Amino acid sequence: MHGLLCNRKNGVACAGVGDYRCGMRLHHRRHLVALILAFAAPALAQQPYVFETTIAGVAEPMEVGFDSQGRLLIAAGREGLIRIEPDGSRTSLAPGRVDRVTRDSTVVADRVHHHVAVQRGATQNLVTGAAWPCGRLLAPEAAAVDPSGVLWIADTGNARVIRVDQDDIRVCGERGFFPGQFVAPSGIAFDSGGPLITDRLNHRVTRLDWQGGFRDIFGFHAVRPREGEGRIHYPTSIAMESASGRIAIAEPFERRVQIFRPRGAAEPIQPAPPMPSKDGVNSHFGEDLSVGGDVVAAWEPESGCVVVWDSRNNPPAHVATFGGTGDRPGVFRQPVSVLCESDGSAVWVLDELGDRLERWELRRDPKAPVQFDSFMARLSEGIPLRVARNEAGIPEVAGCDLVQDGQRIGVAFVDGSVAWTTQSLGTFQRDARAARPRNGSDPLRAASVDAQGRLLLLWNNGIERRDSGQALFVPLTMVAVDPRGAVAAGDHFIVSDAAKDSLLRVNAQGEEMSAVVAPREQSQRFNGLEAVKDGELWLPGRLAGGGTGPIWISDYGNHRLQRFGADGAWQATFTLSKSRAKDKSPPSLAPSAEDIAREQSLRQRNRDLALEGSGSLPLLSGGQLKWTTGGAIPRGEPFAMQVTAVDAAGAPLQNVSLLVDCTMPHHGHGMNVQPVITPTSTGCWKVEPMLLHMPGRWELAFDLAWPDGRIRRSQCSLEIE
Amino acid sequence: MIGAPLLVAMLVACTAGEDLSPSIRARLLKLGPLPAVPQDPTNRYSDDPKAAEFGRVLFYDKRLSKNNEVSCATCHQPDRAFSDGQPLAKGIEVGTRHTPSILNAAYQRWLTWDGSADSLWSQALHPFTNPREMGLTHQELVGRVASIPELRINYEKIFGPMPQGQDDPRVMTACANLGKAIAAFERRLVTGPAPFDRWLAQLRTGNEAPTDFFNAASKRGAILFVGKADCVRCHAGPTLSDGEFHLIGVPQADGAAPTDRGRLQGIEKIRKDPFNAAGSHSDAPEGSQAKITRSTAPEGTTWGSFRTPSLRTAAASPPFMHLGQLASLEAVIDFYNTLQGATNLDHHSETVLQPLNFTAQEQADLVSFLNSLQGSLPKQSETGDPKGGAPQETSQSDKK
């Protein structure tokens, strides 16, 4: 119920503007009784609702609601406000862009400014959570008041729901994939038992009770794009029709709204759709990708992981995954951009919600076969994004995209400003090139650098090219409705359009030259099965490559990446597991005796290090970090560690703090304890307890944090027997 | 820099041929025998014979339950390897998890499937206050012991005077003492050498040949266990358990989404448990276990993870997994062989756990090896019901 109006008529929550009503109206007693009956199913039954129908082919269902006659209302973005009539026909209620069903909501979540605005009479209060013990709100996407006056907030960036009443602030759920957990709560409605929370990145609805306790989950995760019949994919807004108890769920990713009705008390539970099995669901990818050398990188919104492919194979082979969700260095809240350095030796990650920019080295052995390697990526250093902004003198705006120009790495912000740093994360400098005066406040969508080092900034209506002189502007309004990615290719541009699922060549005048992927015919416009064919797109995102080489694209709506040749011909479709190519390269060679010997030698070195229980690591800043455990590191037994750090002159490092972590990247977990790190003197710490509970390869990481916010990591491997 | 093909290549190289490779031999020798039962500094009575004998009495006494029909031994039955043979435990009501065997529990850092106890004695108190198990409050438990003369006398001989009434602040101390007595008894519940241990002893002398008690199938299974199957990754050390928590995605019997939060719930519980190793009733509140308990923290993989069970009593304590949803060792191996139905709500398609894809012969070999891990059970005279298992009379006061 993102942004729905909730007033307090008759002591209950309802929503509407004029004749429109959305959310629940419980002020008719018979409705309440009907709802109670409808939800009398056992607490953990997983089918409280039954799929009823799909409203397909809605390009941008931003928010849903019901009017007083039970008709579905859809704020359909570019298509305006739509009403779905009982016979299924559509009535346009308001032309032009409409993102909300209602306009005068008393409770509005503002994800950009990290607060919820609560209107009481003429007074507006901003709820930020700044004084809450559980920490402040982060990018909340929905808020609503329940019938008893309790405020519920989908605290999306923190992956939780907050229940606020006069006496108590209660946190419901935590980050995770399992029932009762959230990744991106995104919408709120109410049934008779409590709130219904859509979770955009868990692809389901979680039902809580009025106290915030977990009731059940509803709606199975779609395993593949274009699945229906109860599968849910990237749900956002949710609304309930009070008379019938039907709920509407908006799925912009699928360009549809699904309607579910309460399962009757006597209605048998249908066999559940199969759970995502050992193969997991198809990995999703964000709208960004990057190519450097023979490395391709993208990221997964759900897991917060960055994924790396090696393009020496065709189709490119998935060779590394790193990151994950969390708040410490090395994991992310929500990456928005990745960048491969031009020689493929490192990947940069811009984590806007986590307020962090990190550089990860890729340790690839060119002699080894192209194969998955859990240990390939190592964090080398990072910096809070706010520090980068401050150094460059850029106001507090969100990061948007990463670019590279020679040896410089740039962070492009949503207002079009760019901060440049070096590959060793030196001081950030603001890009001084003249910017084109902006009309409106639409945020930057993507950035890139062309072969001449000119900066290309993609806006909703065109491409701004900044050079040493006056900026050039290439309008795109003639060729694209919703441009998401742009790169230069010689004297023209390649532009993706998420509204038309197209990829076009555009000249400097903003005219279409030719289509790499043409828009589908209107009759096939929303045909998802057509869209999953190789060379077709669904909600295409950003681009990489261009110039005189191939074009790489994030085919966001199809959960995959694609590569097209410079001639525009499809070359490859790739994911983590189901990849195809026009000209396949032979599979990787089996490991040779030399590979096995090299691996065994490495294991022996790591084993010796664990047995010795001490080591020395170089610091990126110069100097050394030494650690010792006073003996062999045991498996499954707690131990303590002494750590000292000195500068290049051998003096103890001052004004730095230490974080220590030890993980098993190929298992996807770390220690089950969080050691206490106690400074014992300048540049010296005691770390206790450490406990490595499994045999195998562990990665021991030391993060030193400097007062300027920069973090530099030193890391070694331990083989535990 | 290791990748899956390279790892397989290395392990296959280790398993080829009839003689044990040095690495396989070294891995096998780490699996036994069981050492002496580790000390428990949190329980000063852990090796007190009187406390152990008193704990044995408490363990079998049904009067210490709300309905006078449930004792620890109701679920932890001596003739079923101190488990109950049922998928789900049944005390006063049917519980939510399978009863694990408590044989060799004294070797574990964490107790129960979710590790919500960090010592034998703190775990021993959980069932008394669980409404589905024995259904008492701490005050009622102490009150019942105080009201039964034989128990009261034994208690006071070991621990001193019992609290005077339920409001006495010493009630919680008395509770802890009861748990410590039961723990002292449970330290006797240790298995003797298994056929595998005897073969390991032979292996240490340089003779790796199968024997009549550890046949060729068991040996092949052992090699698979530490080699290609890599079971030893979690089932490590002499207990054949790393003692920690893992999410393996074993499906529920009804195929529904999992709802048990496992270790995540365990961490929440142990932090609140007044009887944890870092608490005021512990005899080592600054000891090693206390530090670990204080530092225990959930991470992304904690939800739905459960403690790796020891395999030393597996053959005698079916069914398996935290819901008892797999009836036999064969079914367990079959699950790992195919991962059929494994639930994965995460978005990574790569995982450490991959289908073994073993042949029927290899699966049978693994089962044969698991059967060879079953050691002799502890003596009935030291661990059985001190009253000989006869029905216990209910006191008049309890009947009221």
| Euclidean distance between CA atoms B268 and B276, whole angstroms | 12
| Euclidean distance between CA atoms A717 and A605, whole angstroms | 9
Please give the pLDDT value at position A36: 26
Do residues B102 and B232 share a domain? no
| Euclidean distance between CA atoms B282 and A612, whole angstroms | 34
Give every CB contact of residue B143 below 8 A, 6+ residues apart in sequence. B166
Do residues B82 and B141 share a domain? yes
Q: Report residue B343 as tokens.
A: 């639930």
- The neighbour count for residue A239, using CB atoms within 10 Å, is 30
- Chain A: nearest CA to B62, how far in angstroms? 33
| Euclidean distance between CA atoms A337 and A185, whole angstroms | 22
pLDDT per residue as tens digits for the range A291-312: 999 999 999 888 889 999 999 9
Final residue in a domain of this structure, among B172, B190, B208: B190
Q: Are B114 and B247 in contact (CB under 8 A)?
A: no
Q: Are B60 and B72 in contact (CB under 8 A)?
A: yes
Residue for token pair 């000292």: A644
The values of phi and psi at residue A88, to 5°, are: 95, -10
Please give the pLDDT value at position B6: 45
| Euclidean distance between CA atoms B330 and B364, whole angstroms | 8
- A522 DSSP 8-state letter: G
Give every CB contact of residue B290 below 8 A, 6+ residues apart in sequence. B42, B276, B277, B278, B282, B284
> What's the rounded mean pLDDT across residues A557-571?
95
Q: Are A677 and A685 in contact (CB under 8 A)?
A: yes
Give every CB contact of residue A416 below 8 A, 6+ residues apart in sequence. A435, A438, A444, A457, A459, A464
β-bridge mates for residue A483, sequence order: A497
Do residues B65 and B75 share a domain? yes
> What's the rounded mean pLDDT across residues B50-66?
98
User: Is B349 contained in some domain?
Assistant: yes
User: Is B237 contained in some domain?
Assistant: yes
Q: Report residue A45 as tokens.
A: 């039954």
Cα angle, residue A367 at apex, residues A365 and A369 outer, rounded to 5°: 90
Do residues B181 and B111 share a domain? yes
pLDDT band at A394 (very low <50, low <70, confident <90, very high): very high
| B244–A694 CB contact, under 8 Å | yes
Q: Are A109 and A142 in contact (CB under 8 A)?
A: yes
- Checking if the pLDDT of A272 tops 90, the result is no
User: Is B84 contained in some domain?
Assistant: yes
User: Which CATH class, in words, describes the domain spanning A9-262?
Assistant: mainly beta
Do residues B202 and B351 share a domain? yes
User: Is B279 contained in some domain?
Assistant: no
Do residues B158 and B15 share a domain? no
> What's the rounded mean pLDDT across residues B340-366?
79
Do residues B103 and B173 share a domain? yes
Please give the pLDDT value at position A34: 27
Residue span of the structural domain in which B332 resides: 4-37+192-258+305-371
Please give the pLDDT value at position A80: 95
Final residue in a domain of this structure, among B141, B164, B190: B190
CB-neighbour burial class of residue B299 (10 A; exposed 0-12, middle 13-18, buried 19+)? buried
> What's the rounded mean pLDDT across residues A78-98?
93
Best residue in B96, B289, B347 to probe A by mutation, most A CBs within 10 Å? B347
Give every CB contact of residue B340 below 8 A, 6+ residues apart in sequence. A278, B334
B236 → closest Cβ in A181, A275, A695: A695
| B357 contacts chain A (CB < 8 A) | no
Beta strands in A236-283 (DSSP E): 238-240, 247-251, 256-262
| Percentage of chain A lying above the pLDDT 70 cut | 91
| Euclidean distance between CA atoms A342 and A406, whole angstroms | 8
| A687 contacts chain B (CB < 8 A) | no
Side chain identity at residue B220, one-letter code: R
Q: Are A716 and A697 in contact (CB under 8 A)?
A: no
pLDDT per residue as tens digits for the range B110-124: 999 999 999 999 999
Look at residue B129 and give its three-state secondary structure. Answer: helix
B296 → closest Cβ in A181, A667, A673: A673
Look at residue B185 and give its three-state secondary structure. Answer: helix
- Checking if the pLDDT of B169 tops 70, the result is yes
What is the overall mean pLDDT for chain A? 88
Give every CB contact of residue A51 below 8 A, 6+ residues apart in sequence. A228, A229, A230, A258, A259, A260
pLDDT band at A470 (very low <50, low <70, confident <90, very high): confident
Do residues B25 and B64 share a domain? no
* B-chain residues near A283 (CB < 8 A): 347-349
β-bridge mates for residue A305, sequence order: A323
Using CA coordinates, name the residue in chain B closest to A285: B347
- Chain B: nearest CA to A697, how far in angstroms? 10
How far is CA B348 from each of CA A224, A373, B273, rounded to the nearest angstrom? 14, 14, 35
Please give the pLDDT value at position A276: 47
Residues 148-177 of B with CB under 8 A from A: none
The CATH superfamily of A433-581 is YVTN repeat-like/Quinoprotein amine dehydrogenase (2.130.10.10)
| A596–B10 CB contact, under 8 Å | yes
* A-chain residues near B345 (CB < 8 A): 177-178, 202, 221, 275-276
Final residue in a domain of this structure, among B174, B190, B206: B190
| B343–A175 CB contact, under 8 Å | no
Better-predicted residue by pLDDT, A623 or B11: A623
Please give the pLDDT value at position A7: 27
Poorest-pLDDT segment among A29-38, A216-225, A407-416: A29-38
| A213 contacts chain B (CB < 8 A) | no
Q: How many CB pairs under 8 A join A and B?
A: 178
pLDDT band at A282 (very low <50, low <70, confident <90, very high): low
Q: What is the CATH number of the domain that holds B244?
A: 1.10.760.10
Please give the pLDDT value at position B10: 46
- Checking if the pLDDT of A406 tops 70, the result is yes
Please give the pLDDT value at position A102: 80
- Checking if the pLDDT of A705 tops 90, the result is yes
Cα angle, residue A720 at apex, residues A716 and B5 outer, rounded to 5°: 85
| Euclidean distance between CA atoms A281 and B346, whole angstroms | 8
Q: What is the ipTM of this complex?
A: 0.85
User: Is B160 contained in some domain?
Assistant: yes
Fold classification of A593-720 is Immunoglobulin-like (2.60.40)
pLDDT per residue as tens digits for the range B298-315: 877 788 899 999 999 999
Strands A185-191 and A169-172: unpaired
- Chain B: nearest CA to A199, how far in angstroms? 14
How far is CA A326 from each of CA A205, A502, B342, rounded to the nearest angstrom? 23, 35, 26
* B-chain residues near A272 (CB < 8 A): 255-256
| Euclidean distance between CA atoms B77 and B65, whole angstroms | 16
pLDDT band at A270 (very low <50, low <70, confident <90, very high): low
pLDDT per residue as tens digits for the range A484-516: 999 999 999 999 999 999 999 999 999 999 999
How far is CA A71 from each of CA A8, A52, A78, A242, rounded to the nearest angstrom? 22, 14, 20, 11
| B343–A277 CB contact, under 8 Å | yes
> What's the rounded mean pLDDT across residues A472-479?
96
| B342 contacts chain A (CB < 8 A) | yes
Look at residue A135 and give its three-state secondary structure. Answer: coil
Do residues B77 and B115 share a domain? yes
> What's the rounded mean pLDDT across residues B269-296?
96
| Euclidean distance between CA atoms A368 and A598, whole angstroms | 10
- Chain A: nearest CA to B81, how far in angstroms? 26
- Checking if the pLDDT of A25 tops 60, the result is no
User: Is B115 contained in some domain?
Assistant: yes
A602 → closest Cβ in B1, B256, B339: B1
Number of structural domains (chain B) is 2
| Percentage of chain B lying above the pLDDT 70 cut | 90
| Euclidean distance between CA atoms B295 and A15, whole angstroms | 47
CB-neighbour burial class of residue A626 (10 A; exposed 0-12, middle 13-18, buried 19+)? middle
| A668–B232 CB contact, under 8 Å | no
Strands A220-221 and A231-232: parallel
User: Is B164 contained in some domain?
Assistant: yes
| B236–A666 CB contact, under 8 Å | no
| Percentage of chain A lying above the pLDDT 90 cut | 72
- Checking if the pLDDT of B320 tops 60, the result is yes
Q: Report residue B84 as tokens.
A: 């109950």
Do residues B319 and B183 share a domain? no
* B-chain residues near A596 (CB < 8 A): 6, 9-10, 13
User: Which CATH class, in words, describes the domain spanning A282-363+378-397?
Assistant: mainly beta
User: Is B400 contained in some domain?
Assistant: no
Give every CB contact of residue A80 below 8 A, 6+ residues apart in sequence. A92, A93, A94, A95, A96, A97, A98
| Euclidean distance between CA atoms B42 and B31, whole angstroms | 27
Please give the pLDDT value at position A4: 26
| Euclidean distance between CA atoms B311 and B36, whole angstroms | 17
Please give the pLDDT value at position A274: 54
Please give the pLDDT value at position B43: 98
Minimal CA–CA distance to B277: which of B42, B52, B88? B42
Minimal CA–CA distance to A497: which of A552, A460, A524, A530? A460
- Checking if the pLDDT of A40 tops 90, the result is no
- Checking if the pLDDT of B187 tops 90, the result is yes
